[in-house]
Amino acid sequence: MHQRRLQLVLHPRTAAEASVHDAVERLRADGCRVRVQVPDSPAGSQALAARVASSGSVDTVVAGGGDGTINAVASGLLSVPAARRPALGILPLGTANDFARGCGIPLHDPLAALRLVVEQPALPIDIGRCGEYCFVNVATGGFGAEVTAATDPALKQALGSVAYLLTGLSRLSGIHAQQARFSSGERVWEGRFLGMAVGNGRYAGGGVDVCPDARIDDGLLNVTIVPDVPEADITRALAHFMRDGTVDAHIPRVGWSCARLRIQPSQILHINLDGEPLRVTDIDFTVLPAALRCHLPRYCPLRRLP
């Protein structure tokens, strides 16, 4: 095992987990230098990652938490010049862990996830941008984003990703379509939609495959739009979508890939950005190709290149 200098940024909810402490001690016993800090907020995690990156004191900053923690750490790393930017490591300890799931990073074995960081080389990945905000995984809008925002944090802690399913099923009767225009160069889609996703990664909401053609190293974002359907089909079809993570024949799906996308909704659109809610009225999505280096499994399903 190569000696590495790691900074582990832990979400407060995971800081007391014995399996994390044991994994860190195993790495230290193997000769790795591992520092651990527990910021009290996403802003604190972002600031810590930026500060550590600027210092040049570590090789890799490891995000220990869910997709929101990964987003915060990645945003902090991106705030410093590329030449001084440490690599990103991922220790999935969140509710959904959708980016780690898509990459094939071990979800329930902290030691295996940390060994991946020290044993596998860091490879360049793209980063998405939604206006001034970055995202590593997926931005969703419409019904799915509303469900994520409405899910009780205590329910997520108790039930994990099942909490999203329960919240979604409880809100099916309140589904309503929104009107918007989606444009990327000559490709334009305009109409009423139930949900949308712009993906650098594939999964959202605890394993729902919202952007099946997304890759993290192709310089593109994958766009998925779920158009409005007859009211009689909505409840059954979306229940199927949230339960199985797939779209059945009753809900068509429009999709393409692009480097830039503009969304112009007719009213305020709720966006969920790697777990963090936003409200927008007119937004541009872009991609930053090969913006970060990230430790990934040798055969990562989200990579285009071998």
* Residue 274 near residue 68, CB atoms below 8 Å: yes
- Predicted confidence at residue 174, as pLDDT, reads 54
Q: Which of 123, 89, 114 is nearest to 1 (CA)?
A: 114
pLDDT of 167 reads 43
Which 8-state DSSP code applies to residue 12? Answer: G
Report the pLDDT value the prediction gives residue 138, as an integer from 0 to 100: 95
pLDDT of residue 243: 57
Region 135-149: what's the mean pLDDT? 73
Residue 3: Cβ-neighbour burial (10 angstroms; 0-12, 13-18, 19+): exposed
Give the pLDDT band of residue 157 (cuts 50, 70, 90): very low
Q: How far apart are CA 295 and CA 169, in angstroms?
A: 36
Q: Please check the confidence at residue 133 and state whether its pLDDT lies above 80.
A: yes
Q: Give the pLDDT score at 251.
A: 64
As a whole number of angstroms, the distance between CA 165 and CA 155 comes to 11
The span from the CA of 62 to the CA of 294, in Å, is 10
The one catalytic residue among 17, 119, 231, 276: 276
User: Can you tell me the distance from the alpha carbon of 285 to that of 138, in angstroms, rounded to the nearest whole number?
Assistant: 11
Do residues 162 and 155 lie in contact, with contact meaning Cβ atoms separated by under 8 Å?
no
Q: What is the pLDDT of residue 276?
A: 85
Q: What is the mean pLDDT of residues 55-68?
A: 95
Judged by average pLDDT, the poorest of 38-52, 120-134, 151-165, 262-276 is: 151-165
What confidence score (pLDDT) does residue 200 get?
97
pLDDT of residue 291: 97
| Mean pLDDT lowest among 5-14, 156-165, 263-272 | 156-165
Q: What is the DSSP string of 72-129?
A: HHHHHHHTS-GGGPPEEEEEE-SSS-HHHHHHT--SS-HHHHHHHHHHSPEEEEEEEE
Whether 25 sits among the annotated catalytic residues: the reply is no
* Digit-coded pLDDT (tens) for 215-242: 999 999 999 998 887 766 666 666 665 5
Domains observed in the chain: 5-119 (3.40.50.10330), 134-289 (2.60.200.40)
State yes or no: pLDDT of 130 exceeds 60: yes
Q: Is the pLDDT of residue 29 over 90?
A: yes
> Could you report the per-residue pLDDT of 78-122, keeping only the tens digit for each?
999 998 899 999 999 998 899 999 999 999 999 999 999 999 999
